[in-house]
Structure formats: structure tokens, C-alpha cells
Amino acid sequence: MSASSEFLSSAKTSKAASTLQSRRSLYVGGLDETISDATLRAAMIPFGNIKAVDIPRDYQKGTNKGFGFVVRLNSIFFNS
């Protein structure tokens, strides 16, 4: 396999993984500044298995930014 075809194959795999990841991710807005990853995870578990929770932090204020992302294990997202 040539370097260019190897790059294209890698790019296709990366794009497919990115598309699948976006189908698994849910943006959650309007969060209280004091909510933790564990609290958000606990709130979302009734809707399905959670792979990851990420709540960006404002390090200057010491609080979160009021939004986060929840990533599911499968691509069928929160049907409930």
C-alpha cells in the first residue's frame, strides 16, 4: 500500500469514527455551575449506558461553564 492510499484509508477511518462519535454524543446545556461529572452521569444513566461525561471547566472562576457532553456506548441515542 502506498503512502497516499494509506493516508486516504486512515482519513476514511477517522471520518467514520468521528461520525459515529457524533451520533453518540449529546450536548447538555443550562447546567448549574456546581454540577459535577458524577452528578450528570447519575442523571443520565436511566436513559442508557454512558461511556463518558465531560463538563468543561472555567479554571479562572473554579466552576464549570454551564454545559457538558454525554457520550453513549451505542449509537441509538436516548429514545426515551
Q: By mean pLDDT, which of 8-12, 40-44, 63-67, 75-79 is the weakest?
A: 8-12
Confirm whether 13 is domain-assigned. Answer: no
Looking up residue 53, the CATH number of its domain turns out to be 3.30.70.330
pLDDT in tens, 27-63: 999 999 999 999 999 999 888 888 999 999 988 988 9
Q: By mean pLDDT, which of 15-19, 21-25, 42-46 is the weakest?
A: 15-19
SS3 state of residue 19: helix
Confirm whether 6 is domain-assigned. Answer: no
Confirm whether 35 is domain-assigned. Answer: yes
Total-model pTM? 0.64
- Boundaries of domain holding 74: 24-80
**Structural domain count of the chain:** 1
Confirm whether 36 is domain-assigned. Answer: yes
Confirm whether 4 is domain-assigned. Answer: no
Cα gap 74→80, rounded to integer Å: 15
Positive or negative, the Cα torsion across 55, 57, 63, 64?
Answer: negative
